[in-house]
Structure 1
């Protein structure tokens, strides 16, 4: 079960670099793509980040526009979160969470650190769960186990996202209601 042993070790050890170890200089697109290969766990060449994906994420507003043709630490933080989350949630839900975590009230380095901390806990938990599921005859059972864990976590995540979306909509409605209304057409005519 070499592949499973390797996966378990990568789940235990491979992490996105902390904020202060992200490059503090701008990168071109090809450098970003190469760098992102080290930020996330992947085994298949087909699931890597592409320039077209980065451009689509930028067009949709998930990632800030590049400065010229160069990408900064902020971009790497956004792309790291996207590369992980895209496997388990919709772009709409990712957008909400990224806006909350990386563009919310806290600075991007703090949001990125919180993201990396949660990711570390999740990867360690799965690596620990794999300890008991190493036999060749347990492949189907293990696959079902992890699929069901993913299902349960997905249900919980969807509910949290739904509650967050409701809270944001309530806040926006309250802010809109608190704004001074403009004068009606008749009031403007009287003035």
Structure 2
């Protein structure tokens, strides 16, 4: 099927660019939105990133504030992760995971590289699974197969997030009241 062949090719080849290839100059919002269309696989026209989404992610603290009206490669890294993860988890969970991934000495470039490496593995694995499931008469079985993989992976992800949240809450309880308020503001 042509529709599946095109999508399968995207799974095999379309990847976010490495940190070093992200623009090292500032971009305006319209440039960011255009750039993000090339960073991630879009499912349909309504799936794209919008200025309102970027503003909401910034207001919620998920993305750092722009310098004036210009966005850096750090913003592109955050937005790449968010554009992928928004399909499978809440903003609250994304916030927790991004903060955990960038804790202590881990830099944004290192966190972005780890994210891209995991995404590459997931896309490659899915493309391999799809290779055997492209016949038109197998569409329903293939859809169920991938839905069940998604269910299992989602359950595992939810469990990891719950454990991270529990660990974070336990650490916050150990902080003096002043430290707890400082952590909540971050």
What TM-score do the two structures reach when normalised by structure 2?
0.93
Residue deviations 1:60-84, cap 9 Å, x none? 1110110000000110000000000
The residue aligned with 1:100 is: 100
CA 1:146/1:167 → structure 2, altered by over 3 Å: closer, same or farther?
same
Q: 1:104 offset after TM fit, Å?
A: 4.9
Distance 1:111 1:37 in 2: 21
1:136-175 to structure 2, matched below 5 A, reads 136-175=136-175
The residue aligned with 1:62 is: 62
Residue deviations 1:23-66, cap 9 Å, x none? 00000000000000000001411000000000000011110110
Q: 1:101 offset after TM fit, Å?
A: 1.6
The residue aligned with 1:135 is: 135
Moved more, 161-170 or 47-56: 161-170
Distance 1:102 1:59 in 2: 19
Q: RMSD of aligned C-alpha atoms?
A: 1.4
The residue aligned with 2:121 is: 121
What TM-score do the two structures reach when normalised by structure 1?
0.90
CA 1:71/1:116 → structure 2, altered by over 3 Å: closer, same or farther?
same
CA 1:174/1:14 → structure 2, altered by over 3 Å: closer, same or farther?
same
The residue aligned with 1:182 is: none
Across the two proteins, how many residue pairs are aligned to each other? 179
The residue aligned with 2:112 is: 112
Distance 1:66 1:152 in 2: 37
Runs of 4+ with >2 A deviation: 102-105, 175-179
Q: 1:167 offset after TM fit, Å?
A: 1.1
